[in-house]
């Protein structure tokens, strides 16, 4: 497995889009987008509301498919065709959609176990091996949420739910984690704990692909930034070069001053 050391590309692209167009409902979100997210490099995709960030993750996870065109290519780990189950064991996904759709009644332990079947909750016909059951307990402990093992999902806070969905994404020990605005709705302490957990995962070799407009949730281990706006890549490069007051102001179309501390960035009104 490629190590996410943050020092640059070291393999084929996790995602390679060449001239990709895609719809959500009746909206043409991408009209010929080109982008490569390198394997092993922790990357954040940043853009305003509605720019296409979540849609890009859905293309990557095969929740939606691009418009078929002979000059268009969408490769995931160098392949065009994937068994969705196999792909989901290589990519762990934590999305807000999933959090909203997830049933209220599944208990914490079941939320984690549901990752083995990419299901919402667990079902009586699903079988779990002793190894899978014990791995779920290890993940509960590793994420510091053993106390939520028997609590229904609908009776947890946003931050607690988010941690369980991270555990669900980790059951297959995926190579990469796709996180969609992971700290939205979390208080400061929950945000910092979540970011620290994500940092530990990156240090242990998981690649993180983060889509967000919350600039403060970009940890130091993320070294590459892609700016998207209106379904187009408008900049792509090293974090220090892109997270400047001038460039972030241009991306969001308002005056922004970027402040940097402890390897993190924060945006304040410019």
Stretch that binds Mg ion, among 48-56, 66-74, 126-134, 163-171 (CB under 5 A): 48-56
CA 233/CA 34 separation, integer angstroms: 7
Contacts of 115 (CB under 8 A, 6+ apart): 92, 167, 168, 169, 170, 171, 172
C-beta closer to ligand ATP: residue 55 or 61: 55
C-beta closer to ligand ATP: residue 45 or 112: 45
Instruction: Give the residue, chosen from 42, 43, 54, 207, that forms a contact with Mg ion under the rule CB under 5 A.
Output: 54
Closest-approach residue to ligand ATP (CB):
25
Stretch that binds Mg ion, among 54-62, 98-106, 133-141, 227-235 (CB under 5 A): 54-62
CA 124/CA 128 separation, integer angstroms: 10
Q: Where are the beta strands (DSSP E) in the chain?
A: 13-24, 27-38, 43-46, 73-76, 91-94, 176-180, 207-212, 224-229, 232-238, 256-261, 264-269
In the complex, least distance from residue 158 CB atom to ligand ATP, rounded to whole angstroms: 16
CA 29/CA 27 separation, integer angstroms: 6
Site size toward Mg ion, by CB under 5 A:
2
C-beta closer to ligand ATP: residue 5 or 34: 34
In the complex, least distance from residue 51 CB atom to Mg ion, rounded to whole angstroms: 8
C-beta closer to ligand ATP: residue 47 or 182: 47
CA 104/CA 19 separation, integer angstroms: 40
Give the interface with Mg ion as residue ranges (CB under 5 A): 53-54
């Amino acid at each position: 497995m490629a190590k996410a050391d943050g020092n640059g590309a070291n393999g084929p692209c996790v995602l390679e889009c060449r001239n990709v167009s895609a719809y959500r409902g009746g909206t043409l979100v991408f009209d010929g987008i080109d982008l490569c997210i390198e394997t092993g490099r922790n990357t954040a995709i940043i853009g305003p509301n509605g720019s296409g960030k979540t849609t890009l993750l859905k293309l990557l996870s095969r929740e939606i498919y691009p418009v078929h065109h002979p000059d268009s290519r969408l490769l995931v780990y160098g392949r065009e065709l994937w068994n969705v189950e196999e792909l989901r064991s290589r990519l762990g996904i934590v999305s807000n959609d999933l959090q909203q759709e997830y049933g209220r009644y599944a208990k914490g332990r079941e939320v984690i176990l549901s990752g083995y079947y990419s299901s919402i909750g667990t079902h009586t016909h699903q079988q779990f091996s002793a190894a899978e059951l014990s791995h779920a307990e290890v993940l509960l402990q590793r994420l510091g949420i053993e106390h939520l093992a028997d609590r229904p999902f609908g009776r947890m806070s946003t931050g607690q739910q988010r941690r369980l969905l991270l555990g669900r994404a980790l059951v297959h020990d995926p190579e990469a984690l796709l996180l969609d605005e992971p700290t939205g709705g979390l208080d400061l302490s929950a945000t910092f704990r979540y970011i620290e957990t994500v940092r530990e995962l990156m240090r242990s070799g998981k690649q993180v692909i983060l889509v967000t407009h919350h600039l403060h949730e970009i940890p130091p281990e993320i070294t590459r930034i892609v700016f998207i706006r209106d379904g187009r890549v408008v900049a792509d490069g090293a974090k220090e070069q892109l997270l400047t007051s001038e460039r972030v102001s241009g991306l969001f179309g308002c005056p922004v001053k970027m402040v940097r501390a402890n390897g993190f960035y924060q945006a304040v009104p410019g």
